[in-house]
Chains A and B, each alone.
Chain A
Amino acid sequence: MSDRVVRARGIVKSYGEGRATVRVLDGVDLDVERGELVTVLGRSGSGKSTLLHLLGALDVADGGTIEIAGTRIDGAREPVLVDLRRRKVGFVFQSFYLLPELNGFENVLLPARLVRGSDGAVARAHELIRRFELGEQALRLPATLSGGEQQRLAIVRALVNDPALVLADEPTGNLDDESRAAVLALLRRVADDARAVVLVTHEREAVELADRVLRLKEGRLRP
């Protein structure tokens, strides 16, 4: 089985209409392998988040091809995209997006409960929570947790279905220095567990942990 998890060629994405059209991504190529943590840097509005949304099948590209863990998602129908989001991709958002009605453990299990036959997910959730030392936090509601604790739970949620690819969209943007370091260390461990991680950020600290650093400029990725 190939180690390549992400294979993207010539991705194009534009926003706006007519003369107001902005071509945010203009032929992006990207390959990411298992165990690799790729950091994408870029200014605000450069299209980093857009790239991640396209890789995670949260949005649709205007052009190009995207293959995630052997599945072509450009032009794919919704059931294919749903299956990809369930089984092959885990997403970490800047604002955590934990559901306020669910406690930490229930938030972690949310993706697993959308998948039939995910009996192993509960055990995996317990294991991840133990491993990342979130046992106490898992029993509390998000409103009672710090930003760092919420983001660590969000990362565990992204891992609960054992995805091949983890996409992290500025996961440290809302955190203090201490929490930021803890979250970045956690993402490094995620990659070391033979997953591909694409981390979008504009923070220099992330560079030190990355296996590869790419810059998104004028719609294209450059080393």
Chain B
Amino acid sequence: MNAVLRYGLARLRTSRGRTFLRASGIVAAAAMVGAAVTVAWGLSTGFDRAASRAQLPDAIASFDALPIGDVSARVGALPNLRAAAYRLTISGRHVESNGNESGHATLVGVRSGPRAYALLGGHDLQADGQAVVEAGLARAWGVRPGEPIAIDGRAFDVVGVGLSPDTVAFPLAKGPRLWLRYEDVQALAGAPPGAVNQALLWVRDPGQLDVTLAQARAASYGVSGLQFVTRTGVRALVADAGGIVIALLIGFSIAALAAAGAMLAATAASDVQRRLSSIGLLRAVGASRAAVALGFGVEAALVAFPAASLGVFLGWLVASGPSTRLLESVNELPPGRSLAALLVFADAAIVVLVAAASALPAWRAARRSPLETLAAADVRGTPPRAPLPSGPAGLGFRLALARPFRTAATVAVLGSSAAIILLILTIATVLAGLRTSPAAVGRRYQLTIDGPASAAREVARIRGVSGVTPRWSVDAADSFDLGEPFTLVAFGGDHTTWENPPLAEGRRIRNDHEAEVGLGLAEALNLHPGATLAAQVPGGRELRFRVVGIDRVLQEEGRVAYVEPRRLLDATPWAQSTLAVKLAAGADAGTIESELATQGLFGSSSGGISSDSVRGWAQRNGGFVSILVSLLRTIAILDGLVCLYVLAQMLALTAQERRRAVALVRACGGNARQLAAVFAGAALPVAALAAPLGLLLERNVIGPTVSRLAATYVSLPLTAGLVPIAIVTCGLVAAAYGASWWVGRAAVVEPVVIGLREE
């Protein structure tokens, strides 16, 4: 066996306390890695997993009910078609079970063919009077296979629990979804025999789906209410719905990974630094550089393997529950065995990282002559280039400066974490405000008022109003296919200063011959940047626009097109207009609405987003908003703990690496309080640099990015306010003090003389 490795193993045996401490650090960092991997992998792959298991169709065509023979004849003629299934779906039905009830249930009548939902428990429909309930309903109401459920007053037996990721789960969704045999739904709906209103399409080549859909549109003459939703579109919408949360969780995971990686590498490198004299000695007695590096690497790996395995397991244990619940709420599946492979890989990566972080510094150290290595066993001081503070805190500051790269890495990790916390707190504040004040949504205007464009100047004079513009919306239909209705929307100025849906593709409009279309409309009409949107407006005139951008608009299911007003008003001088009103900071919407009412102007429920509609959304989704707010705040707390861990680890490393300096301070009369002051001198400058760095990152990078990712039709003002900034700054300072106090206390446990003997 390699002599260096023998020495390393002997050291592990004799220095059990130190080995345990080292392993504890690896356990903590590996736990963060385990949690981060569990969350990031689970959330980023949840949709694909659920879609695959449920065999989600490539496209779903919805239309007003037609005889199945008529539909299947047209569908059967489509190119690229692999399979098709037909459904009769009805909504707004009453269901009741286990003392719970809902009047918004959706019933899906299933005919033969692929079922397009995954069975999570029980069995599939085999006879009339049976129901498969969605997993969200089963969880929320505690319904299990074998139990009864009443649908529109008729008794059914629950035989299975199903899941389909094409929408979010109950109770996040307004009503639950149940799959029944076709005949049951047809009877409940009172529909004619054979009537269906949905066709599920699976294609051979998903890359050619647009050709199939174009053909389907061409073959849809006489079909009313036709709408297509593609699997890609569903994915985009579901991803958008959880976009902020998932982006934040992944951001948190990356910050945690960076923190863990930096700390693992720093711990290993510090251990080698402390053992430079041993390396010098080994070289002096003839050990080769490779033998030194290999010995240190293997020794580190022997400690890292069990510690990393335990840590990754603990991280998974902590994170898998919450991430599974989040996935369940959006009808997605937890990762299962695929995560196990990834966790094993993460475990191996940690072991390799720790081994490399030990072997490389040992290799570098062994490059020097044995004498030089023996002499370099202590950290070299950094000559002060500027006046530095004196006293214990000044000493701590210099200890931090003696390790510039570690200190910079700590500042970077803390700054990133602070940015994420700032963003999370800001979003939580916005969401919490949404429950009581629709204006808190942060869209670019707060009120929609019925009134002519000419009233804008009058409204602008009202105290508390900071901006007004007319908003015109005109119902239109696609000239090529009159079955495709949509809405043309125009503002008195640049629409993005009033409504700013994120761009999925292309660019914003620049002239009155261009249009941005919503994702829903683009999918329905197969529109891409460069395509032509032919809009037939009331009165029979046709307006043609060149599509330049696709917007992620959720309003009216995305069947909206933004255009400049001039040509729209030329074609429809009678176009209905409302006024979009921006309120000044601190202005009270109620007071302004009252004042407007005295002038005969009232809040509108048509066009734009009215206060009432947002309130309604907020009331329906109040529970989900509460879950989101508490989830976000939990992540913020976890991220805060990461900050505390990073600071404590940095100080613990300093205390371990500078054990003799700590002992010297104690020999000179320093107590736990003064050692805490020394460590605070190292931690506070780091926190003081991290806070503004976090603010800069949040304002200029993360905030705008997440704002673009935001699912909502409105743009979220994700610029941190004073309260989150104060919380994060105070939190960082408190973490610095807390970590200093803890490390200071820990440093006085052993007799002074032990630290002085440290080599």
Interface centre among A82, A85, A111 (most CB of B within 10 A): A82
Total chain B interface residues with beta-carbon distance under 8 A: 32
By a CB distance below 8 angstroms, the chain A residues around B384 are: 103
Pair A142/B752 contact, Cβ less than 8 Å: no
Pair A109/B390 contact, Cβ less than 8 Å: yes
Partner of A101, one of B395, B751, B753: B395
By a CB distance below 8 angstroms, the chain A residues around B383 are: 141
Pair A110/B751 contact, Cβ less than 8 Å: no
Pair A78/B748 contact, Cβ less than 8 Å: yes
Docked Cα-Cα span, A114 to B379, in Å, equals 23
Judge whether A76 is part of the interface by a CB distance below 8 angstroms: no
By a CB distance below 8 angstroms, the chain A residues around B674 are: 114
Pair B753/A58 contact, Cβ less than 8 Å: yes
Q: Encode A76-95 as 1/0 by CB contact (under 8 A) with B.
A: 00110011011100010100
Docked Cα-Cα span, A142 to B379, in Å, equals 12
Report the minimal beta-carbon distance from A25 to chain B, rounded to whole angstroms: 14
Interface centre among B390, B394, B756 (most CB of A within 10 A): B756
| CB contact under 8 A between A100 and B379, given known A59-B753, A106-B390 | yes
Closest residue to B660 on the A side, CB-wise?
A97
By a CB distance below 8 angstroms, the chain A residues around B748 are: 78
Report the minimal beta-carbon distance from A90 to chain B, rounded to whole angstroms: 9
Pair A111/B668 contact, Cβ less than 8 Å: yes
Docked Cα-Cα span, A68 to B390, in Å, equals 30
Pair A143/B381 contact, Cβ less than 8 Å: yes
Interface centre among B398, B669, B671 (most CB of A within 10 A): B669
Pair A100/B392 contact, Cβ less than 8 Å: no
Pair A85/B669 contact, Cβ less than 8 Å: yes
Report the minimal beta-carbon distance from B10 to chain A, rounded to whole angstroms: 17
Pair B753/A102 contact, Cβ less than 8 Å: no
Docked Cα-Cα span, A101 to B665, in Å, equals 13
By a CB distance below 8 angstroms, the chain A residues around B667 are: 56, 58, 85, 91
Q: Encode A95-123 as 1/0 by CB contact (under 8 A) with B.
A: 00101111100100111011100000000
| CB contact under 8 A between A101 and B381, given known A53-B753, A59-B751 | yes
Pair A100/B669 contact, Cβ less than 8 Å: no
Report the minimal beta-carbon distance from A153 to chain B, rounded to whole angstroms: 13
Closest residue to A160 on the B side, CB-wise?
B668
Partner of B669, one of A102, A109, A115, A142: A115
Report the minimal beta-carbon distance from B223 to chain A, rounded to whole angstroms: 80
Q: Encode B612-654 as 1/0 by CB contact (under 8 A) with A.
A: 0000000000000000000000000000000000000000000
Judge whether B382 is part of the interface by a CB distance below 8 angstroms: yes
Judge whether B399 is part of the interface by a CB distance below 8 angstroms: yes
Docked Cα-Cα span, A150 to B295, in Å, equals 36
Pair B381/A141 contact, Cβ less than 8 Å: yes
Partner of B390, one of A60, A82, A113, A141: A113
Partner of B756, one of A97, A101, A102, A157: A97
Pair A110/B395 contact, Cβ less than 8 Å: yes
Report the minimal beta-carbon distance from A78 to chain B, rounded to whole angstroms: 7
Closest residue to B675 on the A side, CB-wise?
A114
Pair A102/B671 contact, Cβ less than 8 Å: no
| CB contact under 8 A between A58 and B669, given known A99-B395, A99-B664, A141-B383 | no
Q: Encode A136-169 as 1/0 by CB contact (under 8 A) with B.
A: 0000011100000000000001000100000000
Partner of B661, one of A91, A99, A114: A99
Judge whether B380 is part of the interface by a CB distance below 8 angstroms: yes
Report the minimal beta-carbon distance from B544 to chain A, rounded to whole angstroms: 74
Docked Cα-Cα span, A161 to B668, in Å, equals 9
Docked Cα-Cα span, A87 to B668, in Å, equals 9
Docked Cα-Cα span, A59 to B663, in Å, equals 12
Closest residue to A110 on the B side, CB-wise?
B668
By a CB distance below 8 angstroms, the chain A residues around B398 are: 101-102
Partner of B381, one of A100, A114, A157: A100
| CB contact under 8 A between A102 and B668, given known A59-B752, A59-B753, A113-B390 | no
Pair B671/A78 contact, Cβ less than 8 Å: yes
Partner of A100, one of B380, B391, B666, B752: B380
Report the minimal beta-carbon distance from A149 to chain B, rounded to whole angstroms: 15
Judge whether B408 is part of the interface by a CB distance below 8 angstroms: no
| CB contact under 8 A between A111 and B669, given known A97-B664, A100-B380, A106-B390 | yes
Interface centre among B378, B381, B382, B390 (most CB of A within 10 A): B381
Report the minimal beta-carbon distance from A160 to chain B, rounded to whole angstroms: 9
Pair A58/B399 contact, Cβ less than 8 Å: no
Judge whether B402 is part of the interface by a CB distance below 8 angstroms: yes
By a CB distance below 8 angstroms, the chain A residues around B90 are: none
Docked Cα-Cα span, A201 to B665, in Å, equals 24
Judge whether B401 is part of the interface by a CB distance below 8 angstroms: yes
Report the minimal beta-carbon distance from B498 to chain A, rounded to whole angstroms: 58
Report the minimal beta-carbon distance from B729 to chain A, rounded to whole angstroms: 28
Pair B381/A110 contact, Cβ less than 8 Å: no
Closest residue to A59 on the B side, CB-wise?
B753
| CB contact under 8 A between A102 and B660, given known A82-B671, A91-B667, A110-B668 | no
List 20 contacting pairs A-B, 8 Å CB cutoff, sorted by A. Answer: A53-B752, A58-B751, A58-B752, A58-B756, A79-B671, A85-B666, A97-B660, A97-B664, A97-B756, A100-B381, A101-B381, A101-B401, A102-B395, A111-B669, A113-B390, A114-B665, A114-B670, A141-B383, A143-B381, A157-B668
Given A82-B669, A114-B668, output 7 extra A-B contacts at Cβ < 8 Å. A58-B753, A79-B671, A86-B669, A100-B402, A101-B402, A114-B392, A141-B383
Residues of B within 8 A of A (CB): 378-384, 390-392, 394-395, 398-399, 401-402, 660-661, 664-671, 674, 748, 751-753, 756
* CB-CB nearest 4 A-B residue pairs: A86-B669, A100-B381, A101-B398, A111-B668
